[in-house]
Structure 1
Amino acid sequence: MPNLDELFEPQGSHFTHPKLRELEALLDASAESECEIERRREGFTFRPSMIYVFTKPGNGSTQVDAFEWHETLNSFLLGRGVRATSQENEGLRFSIILRTDLQRVEVRYGEGYFNALVLEFVEKTFSHIHDIRSILQKVGPGRPYHGRVYSDAANAVHSVFAKVAQMLSTQLKYDPTSGKRILVQAAKYYLDERFSILPGEFLRASGEASKRREVDQRTTSEVVIFDTNAYRQLTYGLGLEESRAKAVLLRNKDRNAGRLVLAHPIVIWELISHLMDVGDPGYHHCLHALVALGEHATSSSRPEGGVNIMADALLTVCRELFGRLPPGYEQGLQNLGSLVTHITRHAPDLSDSVAQANIQNLGRGMLAKEQSWLNGMAAVVEKFEPGAAKAFFGETTDNEALRKVRAYFETPEFFAAWSHYIVASNAVEVGITSIPPDEFQAKAELVRKIFATPFHLMRVLLQKLATPQSVNLASPKNKRWNFVWDSMIAFSIGPGTIEDGSVHLVTGDKEIVVAASSAGFQKQVISLDAYLKTIGIEE
């Protein structure tokens, strides 16, 4: 244990990185040195960043040593004036420094306020740079509240960028022109990683346009979302490349018409669940449908590829009601989009081990979700079995009691009870355990107003289940478990817009169509044949 005097020793020498002495020895024995930063993807996530140090000992031959990125090691290299091998790589290096130092500011002021602060700073400082301006056009400007903490918070962000600039000029001795070029590159890397989490857009159910915008500045007249069966119908009887070509044709026609195509996460999950086993009867058809989705919803704003993914039900409700998201949820959607991109590019070859692991994990997750829903619905169905219904309503016959049960599902009381369940269950997802009664009631009313379509869909299902006959929810013939996915897709049907464009779901599901009509949103659902005719394709 250190004594009190040791705690005050300079430079914290007792707690340095274990590789620091090795690195120091390399530089001491070298006449020249430089480094290169590597940050590559492995499948759908980033590998740990690496620092490759190039030195020339006395014999004149170049020696290369690899170190996993650590602040201490990089700070030591900066202190010794060791530059990266190129200004572009220097930009990557300093983007990691930005990310690390800005993360401390984020922890102090919170994610939402921090994002606004960074965007405001970048807009004021870098907006004259074309590449930065393009990113801002996609993300949107920062508008932080100028309250009591604003000055300190804004200064904290400014200090981080100023620190990086000083490192470039004083420690690495870059001239002003080169230093500015590197700082811009670092800002680009940082902004792209932080704010391009999803290559698509978030559905804002209240009607507010998403903050993330396509770089393509043509007006979005309409947003199109296909459900699972729409992509299956589109590719029915087609081979892989025929499916791909048809989707590319649709994509081009949609873009020319100003339509934005978004992929729904549930649709992706449903299709991927059939790719767990090549022996699955639906394997090839679902693979072709998924490739069609990947081509159809390809982002026009990301040259390296990507898929426009919209918010699913959980994300939409949590963001609308609580202004926050379940931990790690956006990262999960980012990984989902990366998986679709990989499959779209490499199909039919899905042999990549990371891709296979992700496919298996998603498939198991789907099965678990379906089983959880079946268990929950079984508990609900028990409450209106004939015996329970007669005891509750005081009727003497099964049919009369069940008639009253079905009538109950038409009442405001049922809609209120179901909205309370949605508020409470989504609050748990974001870690909220207590909501004041007045606020809870207001959120429940908002849910009923904005997300009316899934309410009507649930009403119809429960009415069908309220019969004298015993209900087998797990029957493969009726596939009632598919309802959980249909209801989640139905959350995209409502009064909201994306990029000021009206949202249309392409579906042939009769129950979804009826539910949308009952909720007053019949114009927001369209059949695949009708959709194809609007873009000049006759089946």
Structure 2
Amino acid sequence: MIVVFDTNAYRNIVSRISKDEAVAKVVDIKHKEFEKGIIPFMSTTVAMELLSHLCDVKTSRNYQSCLKASQVMYLHCGDEKEFRLLPLPETQISYEYFNIKNIHSFNTQQAVGQLLYLIAKNPTDETVDSKMSELQKIRNFIDTGEQMLANEIERFCRMTDPTFTDWTIFKNDAKNRSEFLKNVRSEKFYKITAEAYLTAVVQDLKNKGYAINSNIDETMIFKYVENYKASLQFRTWFFSQLVNGNFDLTKGSRTNFVWDELILHFIGQSCNNDPIMLVTSDGRMHDAVRGVYPNGLDTIIKTYEEYMDFLGL
């Protein structure tokens, strides 16, 4: 079995302990995983979330936690010779649906892994400062992605409901509110989302100079819906919040939704015929998986605490 930890799982490992204690802890985790035939792989999305916080103020809790978590992530999934990582969704989908090896995306993954390697070898402020240019690019990517999400969702809301206000769709219109919820929970919504994601991958590949047939047919859409139901279920949850009142995407960490959705693309997948398990304590991600695999949760997703119990730690 392959295991992938999300951002908070790595931050849980290092919580309230020193760097040396965190290293010793991840060594124990790897030993127990080896005994059970579990191979840890890193998610590039998770790595980028952690690395983006190394642009924070160095005295902040986020910086201190993510510096330790970045080191632990690499030690968990790599060594002096190599590191193991699962492809980004766009990398996998480019090959699976369009038979294109997205070298640009692959190179991004490798660069992120190499940054983690340098930090694992020497997890100091000096190492961070020496790679600040690369880290800032990651931070800009994260910030831009979240801002674009907020802007696009707001634009969607205003198109859907001209009276949209306080980040609430159909605030005083129970009938349309009910119809909206019905639509975002429908198979049609899944298909629209699938087609939109595939179209975005096609456009990205074209922008990078790849020759690609841009025709997206029903078979491809059906395949995407079948393969990525957990991420689609998560998106349904997110859109359903827009009727609940004041779900302001410009506040808190609600735009993290976009990264959680990408991470959920691993659910129900395998690599080299080995099934993939996700470790996350995010209740909304668990709810999304439960809605798709109600009888197989134990081998697909676990909270951090459940996983530690499973390992006997």
Question: By the TM > 0.5 criterion, same fold?
Answer: yes
**Letter in structure 2 aligned against 1:484:** V
Alignment of 1:38-57 (within 5 A): none
Once residues 485 and 228 of structure 1 are traced to their aligned partners in structure 2, the CA distance between those partners, rounded to angstroms, is: 10
Once residues 283 and 422 of structure 1 are traced to their aligned partners in structure 2, the CA distance between those partners, rounded to angstroms, is: 32
Task: Report whether the alignment pairs 1:249 with 2:28.
Answer: yes
Aligned residue number for residue 227 of structure 2: 450
Alignment of 1:280-291 (within 5 A): 280-291=60-71
Judge conservation of contact 2:150–2:250 (CA < 8 Å) in 1: yes
Judge conservation of contact 2:44–2:109 (CA < 8 Å) in 1: yes
Aligned residue number for residue 62 of structure 1: none
Aligned residue number for residue 155 of structure 2: 379
Q: CA deviation at 1:445?
A: 0.7
**Letter in structure 1 aligned against 2:38:** R
Judge conservation of contact 1:381–1:466 (CA < 8 Å) in 2: no
Aligned residue number for residue 276 of structure 2: 503
Aligned residue number for residue 17 of structure 2: 238
**Which segments of 5 or more consecutive residues in structure 1 lack a partner in the other structure?**
1-221, 389-394
What per-residue deviation string (whole Å, max 9, x for no partner) do you get for residues 466-514 of structure 1?
Answer: 24x45421112xx2111011001011112x2223222100011111111
| Coordinate RMSD, CA, aligned | 2.1
Judge conservation of contact 2:194–2:224 (CA < 8 Å) in 1: yes
Judge conservation of contact 1:384–1:405 (CA < 8 Å) in 2: no
Aligned residue number for residue 316 of structure 1: 92
Classify the secondary structure of the residue corresponding to 1:435. coil
**Letter in structure 2 aligned against 1:447:** Y
Q: Which of 221, 237, 256 is residue 460 of structure 1 equivalent to?
A: 237
Alignment of 1:62-141 (within 5 A): none
Judge conservation of contact 1:451–1:493 (CA < 8 Å) in 2: yes
Classify the secondary structure of the residue corresponding to 1:328. helix
Q: CA deviation at 1:382?
A: 2.2
Distance 1:499 1:326, change over 3 A: closer
Q: CA deviation at 1:407?
A: 1.2
Q: CA deviation at 1:316?
A: 2.0
Once residues 374 and 365 of structure 1 are traced to their aligned partners in structure 2, the CA distance between those partners, rounded to angstroms, is: 14
Aligned residue number for residue 268 of structure 1: 47
Judge conservation of contact 1:505–1:526 (CA < 8 Å) in 2: yes
Judge conservation of contact 1:307–1:340 (CA < 8 Å) in 2: no
Aligned residue number for residue 291 of structure 2: 518
Distance 1:283 1:353, change over 3 A: closer
Judge conservation of contact 2:95–2:101 (CA < 8 Å) in 1: yes
**Letter in structure 2 aligned against 1:423:** L
Aligned residue number for residue 124 of structure 2: 348
Once residues 332 and 228 of structure 1 are traced to their aligned partners in structure 2, the CA distance between those partners, rounded to angstroms, is: 18
Once residues 371 and 339 of structure 1 are traced to their aligned partners in structure 2, the CA distance between those partners, rounded to angstroms, is: 25
Judge conservation of contact 1:409–1:462 (CA < 8 Å) in 2: yes
Q: Which of 299, 303, 308 is residue 532 of structure 1 equivalent to?
A: 308
Once residues 17 and 197 of structure 2 are traced to their aligned partners in structure 1, the CA distance between those partners, rounded to angstroms, is: 40
Task: Report whether the alignment pairs 1:296 with 2:72.
Answer: no
Q: CA deviation at 1:356?
A: 2.4
Once residues 232 and 18 of structure 2 are traced to their aligned partners in structure 1, the CA distance between those partners, rounded to angstroms, is: 38
Aligned residue number for residue 84 of structure 1: none
Distance 1:306 1:434, change over 3 A: closer
**Letter in structure 2 aligned against 1:232:** R
**Which segments of 5 or more consecutive residues in structure 2 lack a partner in the other structure?**
165-169
TM-score, normalised on structure 2? 0.89
Q: CA deviation at 1:441?
A: 1.4
Q: CA deviation at 1:433?
A: 6.6
**Which fold has the larger relative contact order, with Cα–Cα distance below 8 Å and residues 6 or more apart in sequence?**
2
Judge conservation of contact 2:267–2:276 (CA < 8 Å) in 1: yes
Once residues 355 and 305 of structure 1 are traced to their aligned partners in structure 2, the CA distance between those partners, rounded to angstroms, is: 21
Task: Report whether the alignment pairs 1:339 with 2:115.
Answer: yes
Distance 1:435 1:335, change over 3 A: closer
**Letter in structure 2 aligned against 1:276:** C
**Letter in structure 1 aligned against 2:19:** L
Classify the secondary structure of the residue corresponding to 1:261. strand
Q: Which of 131, 135, 138 is residue 359 of structure 1 equivalent to?
A: 135
Once residues 529 and 471 of structure 1 are traced to their aligned partners in structure 2, the CA distance between those partners, rounded to angstroms, is: 29
Aligned residue number for residue 484 of structure 1: 258
Judge conservation of contact 1:507–1:525 (CA < 8 Å) in 2: yes
Runs of 4+ in 1 over 3 A off after TM superposition: 349-354, 383-388, 432-436
Q: CA deviation at 1:239?
A: 0.9
More helix by share: 2
Classify the secondary structure of the residue corresponding to 1:306. coil
